Amino acid sequence: MANYVNKQMIELNKVNEENRNRATRSVKTETHLSDGRLYRLAAVCFGVLCVLQVILNISLRLAFCDLMAKQTCPEGWQKFESSWYFLSTVKKPWEESRDDCLKRGADLVIINSKMEQKFICGLNKRAWIGLTDSVTEGTWKWVDGTPLTTPSYWHLQQPDNGGDNPANQEKDCVELNTVTWHPVKAWNDLSCLHNRYWICEKGV
């Protein structure tokens, strides 16, 4: 009888042990599944945050660039390479034209390259540039005091100082004749008293 009871107790203990093992495995499985869901949810949230961060960065960059453009590009100015250019809408003599540029924090344009010459000619106006020989006849200098060196873009037979004809007056200033002449042969010396459009230049 005692042996029978012992066997029953052993069987009962085995059943209880198996039940406990099943319960433990079930808890572990549920915990594992729960952890997996949390990891996936965290990954999705992180991905969404990254996308939002990229969108925010792009929006801020575009807004900043737009603000900087408005601050650095005054109305009526155009940018080419490292300078801003202003083309007047009225005509004045050379000296008055230069005074207007100086009031704008600029000066009459100084042309340093063929590309710049073509850009200026693209404005398509007969306009004053910052070149003169008013100090010494025949010695052409830019408004910043530097002498004219190559390249230069004189039209054929220019400068001619009026062909020594007193009626033509002293031709001590230079205009761009972009209306009828070739862009790289567009400089013409002219009396500084003539009324022309003008082109101002200042650094970016």
Phi, psi (deg, nearest 5) at residue 42? -65, -40
> Could you tell me if 103 and 30 lie in one domain?
no
Q: Which residues pair with 84 in a beta bridge?
A: 79, 202
**CATH at residue 192:** 3.10.100.10
What mean pLDDT is reported for the chain? 79
Question: How many structural domains is the chain composed of?
Answer: 2
114-132 pLDDT, tens per residue?
999 999 999 989 999 999 9
Predicted structure pTM score: 0.63
> Could you tell me if 51 and 130 lie in one domain?
no
> Could you tell me if 95 and 67 lie in one domain?
no
> Could you tell me if 7 and 54 lie in one domain?
yes
Q: Final residue of a domain: which of 72, 92, 114?
A: 72
Do 87 and 123 form a contact (C-beta atoms < 8 A)? yes
Q: Final residue of a domain: which of 72, 102, 131?
A: 72
> Could you tell me if 108 and 185 lie in one domain?
yes
Phi, psi (deg, nearest 5) at residue 18? -65, -40
> Could you tell me if 172 and 99 lie in one domain?
yes
> Could you tell me if 85 and 18 lie in one domain?
no
Q: Which domain holds residue 13?
A: 1-72
Tell me the two tokens of residue 18: 């198996």
Distance CA 2, CA 176 (A): 126
Q: Tokens 């567009």 identify what position?
A: 186
Query: Percent of the chain scored above 90 by pLDDT?
Result: 42
7-16, 109-118, 138-147, 154-163: segment of lowest average pLDDT: 7-16
Higher pLDDT, 63 or 158: 158
> Could you tell me if 8 and 52 lie in one domain?
yes
> Could you tell me if 31 and 83 lie in one domain?
no
Strand (E) or helix (H) holding 200: strand 197-203
> Could you tell me if 47 and 86 lie in one domain?
no
Q: Tokens 């203990």 identify what position?
A: 13
24-58 pLDDT, tens per residue?
665 555 555 555 666 667 677 667 776 777 676 67
> Could you tell me if 112 and 161 lie in one domain?
yes
Q: Final residue of a domain: which of 56, 72, 88?
A: 72
> Could you tell me if 59 and 84 lie in one domain?
no
Q: What is the largest CA-CA distance in the chain?
A: 150
